Structure 1
Amino acid sequence: MRLVTRAAWGARPSRYELAYIASTGGVKIHYEGTYVPKSLAAADAHATCAGRMRDLQASHLANRQEDYSDIAYNAVVCPHGYVYEGRGPHRKTGANGNSTLNSRDYAVCAMLGNSGLVVPPDAMLDGLVDAITWLRNKGAAGTRVAGHRDGFATACPGDRLYEWVQGGAVRPDGESPQGGTEGEAPGSGIARYQVTINGLRYGYGAKGAHVTAVGEALVDGGFGRHYKVGPGPEWTDADTLNYQEFQLAMGYTGTAPHEDADGVPGEVSLHQLLGKLPGKTTATTVPPFPGRSAFILGRTNPAVVTLDGGLIRKGFTRHHDGNGYQAGPRFTEYTRRNLAEFQRATPALAGDADGYAGPLTWRLLLS
């Protein structure tokens, strides 16, 4: 099982104390029920899943009609098979439709939509079984596995996922949910997979001048201690270990394979390291918008470093603590004031210069 804890994906605190529940009869399976882009399931898109979790939590906390205490689900599973801790075991869900149903079963949501990504990848099905097993082992869930629509009038979890539930909720290899271990610990082993960013390959075995450029940037930044003879054009374990230390310094915490700080680049961290994204597109390529939940006053997020870099490059640094404005992972009042000045100076943004980054502010600042 590849578990991403609340701390690892950057969960906000619960609004109210979550209700304890000793056990349940089983687990209800859910889907997001909105458009989910097919690109989320791409092999190199896992770095965006933590941001999607933060956005899901933020949308639930903003729902004053339901008045959610937290993200409604006990767990959420991404297309790459990772289990994101939501409310977690022994916590009453808020997703099953009413208080009685919420007490009867835990809730596990798949990052699957009613359009776009509607067919669950095999890795997601594996992750759903992992989540069910986890809630049985850690939360005393019973053997029942049902869909949200079982007991409540809804289309959730969608026809494709509901077919899987009715078929026994088994892994692609036919194994049913059962007891087991928690799986690998963070940091166990070196990541040896590749990602493609702007047409260029990064990760173990990737080759090219762009690999050398990453190594040289790591050395220049003080992250070269694992090189024995210096960076070269083929990505080795030394590149992975050095890049991992750079990611950890940015504030990422997950270190298991495919997580944020496993030593394989994502677009945000690569842009921060090189100041651009090399490849088929131009040097002004903007990294993906990480979601509004990345910019919460007083909270830290690696994307704030990228935001700060844009402010510094464009000269919006008037507000600081007396030691000059410097890039850092915490979204401070100084960050907000400087960003508000950039917004006021940009005609397309001047009408809503609140100092908080949305997709348009992000694009215009970093382009």
Structure 2
Amino acid sequence: MKLVQRAAWGARPSRYDLAYIASTEGVKVHYEGTYVPKSLADPDAHGACAGRMRDLQASHLANRTEDYSDIAYNAVVCPHGYCFEGRGLHRKTGANGNSRLNAEDYAVCAMLGASGLVVPPDAMLDGLVDAITWLRNSGGAGGRLGGHRDGFATQCPGSRLYEWVQSGAPRPDGSGLPLPGGGAEKGAGPARYRVTIGGLAYGYGATGAHVTAVGEALVDGGFGRHYKTGPGPRWTDADTLNYQAFQLAMGYTGTAPHQDADGVPGEVSLHQLLGYLPGKKTTSSAPPYPGRSAFVLGKSNPAVTVLDGGLVRKGYTRHRAGAKYVPGPLFSENCRRNVADFQRATPALAGDPDGCPGPLTWRLLLS
């Protein structure tokens, strides 16, 4: 996913605090609906897309009739396949037509017009799939997918894009849109490999009383819908799918094999599920990952104090308001920047130093 965050495209601050939303029923697809020059899709024209984002935000902030608090969309996708962060994850959109519709679905807009650029380029379709997947995996979006017109009397998102939405929003190569919550693409199955934690095997084919204990804990936590006869001592695909649902609820993303939410346990998630780690003691001292919802810019959560402690211990405190960095529960911009410094300095994290702590950042910072 080619994500362009708000700071990178020069977003202005929101006029009001954006309403938090834990999850939605799905995603509505939009288009600009005005004239969009065909030249915007030229291979060398991507440099103009950030400016178009700023123009879109400015036009929404200037709309006193709607009294938008920010750009209306959660994400906007340019013709080159880049996903520009609008209101972002867990923020109620302002684009779907009324307050009820805005609470039911996220809104993703394509830089596509009613005239000029009216045919979505392949790169744009790829980017739209990436944006929808991002909202599903990280923002709690459900499986419903529609066009703006499906909830409100409008021509949006235009005939070409609406036909694509109705066909299931496939990628140009024909692959399917990932299932809600980060399920595998059509044709792919659950991860089938094993890991060893504390001397005990977990994953497809592993056997033992410890496997039964995991299954029972999943059922107790409400993550047992894939079992047909109940958990047992042999790890099956049902265990993997149920464990994946638990990982996604923790805030993990990435469901391909060997990613964070592929349904195979790691130490942090296993400790979170069971309250302890069976078998031999491990060397990891990181507390269980609290989930991405603990790290919302401008919001407080006890996990941020723990995160700050790790930043202080490892010396990533150059961004601060006073003479020294003071740990606390508020996930501030200074905290985010310090996390980004740690990520840039850590090879396993340097590819995406966005300052937003994921499970791997949490573990490496606090271990």
**Higher RCO structure, 1 or 2 (CA under 8 Å, sep 6+):** 1
- TM-score of the superposed pair, with normalisation by structure 1: 0.49
TM-score w.r.t. the length of structure 2 is 0.49
